Amino acid sequence: MRVLATLVLMLMALPLRAEEVVLGLSQNRISITANLDGSEILIFGAVKRETPLQEAPLEVVITIAGPSQPVTVRRKDRRVGIWVNNAAVEIDSAPSFYAVATSAPLPQALSDTEDLRHRITIPRAIRSVGAAAEVGNAEDFTRALIRIRENDDLYQTLEGAVELREQTLFSTAISLPANLTEGDYATRIFLTRDGAVVSQYETTIAVNKVGLERFLFTLSREQPLIYGLLSLAIAIIAGWGASAAFTLLRQS
C-alpha cells in the first residue's frame, strides 16, 4: 500500500500536458497527371488541452513545404543593347513550394525569435550560402527568387487564412498549383501564444507522378538515350503530320 500511495503521489506531482494538436488532412497523397490543373488541400484539427484555457489567445500557424533544392539566381544587365548575365548567387536550399497560413497577422502570431528557431516564414525557409565578393547585396537575389515564385503561386503567405473557433477547432484550405515537384511535402502546425511556440506537430503529404507522367519521368532518369530518341521520333512524327495537314488544306 505504501508503494501504491507513493506512485499516486508521483503521478499527481507530474505537470499536466499543455495544448496539443490533433490533426486531420482532406488527403495525404496527391497524384500528378497530365490534366492536373492544381489541387486544394484542407487542413483541419483541434487543440487538445488538459489545463484551463489561458487568458492570452492561442494562435495557429501552418506551413507546407515542398522538396528543397539548390537554386542559382542570376542577375542580367543590359550591355550594348543585349541582356547578359552579370552576377549569380547560389541559394543553398530553397523549397520548391512553400505556403504559410496563420490565424492572425504574422507579427502577432509569431515572434522573430521563434521564426528564426523554426524557420517558418518564407525568407527563413530559404538558406543561402552567400555570394561572391564582387556581388553586392546578395539578399536582393533571395528576394528576387521569392518574388518570382510568388508570382507563380509557388510561395504563398496567407495571413488570417486559418479559422480558429473557440480557441479549439482550426481549419484552412491551401491551393496547390499545377506545376508541383514530386516528393514529400512537410506539413507543420504550430500553436503559439504571445508569439511563442507552445506546441507543434508535423506530418507529410506525398506528391507523386502517375500513369504516362510516371513512365516518362522514370524513362528520362533511367534510360536517357531511349528517352531522347523517343522524343526525337515524336517531334519528327508531329512535324510530318503538321506538314501533311497543311498540304491537304492547301489542296482543298
Return the residue matching grid coordinates 492572425: 104
The DSSP element (H or E) to which 136 belongs, if any, is none
Contacts of 184 by beta carbon, 8 Å cutoff, 6+ apart: 67, 204, 205, 206, 207
This model's pTM is above 0.85: no
CB 18 within 8 A of CB 162: no
pLDDT at 72: 79
Q: What is the mean pLDDT of residues 138-167?
A: 89
Kindly report the average pLDDT of the chain as a whole number: 76
Q: What is the mean pLDDT of residues 177-202?
A: 89
Binned at pLDDT 50, 70 and 90, residue 138 comes out as low
The fold for domain 19-209 equals Immunoglobulin-like (2.60.40)
| 213 burial level (CB within 10 Å; 0-12, 13-18, 19+) | middle
pLDDT at 14: 37
CB 59 within 8 A of CB 104: yes
CB 176 within 8 A of CB 205: no
Which residue has better confidence, 111 or 90? Answer: 111
**What is the domain partition of the chain in residue ranges?**
19-209, 210-252
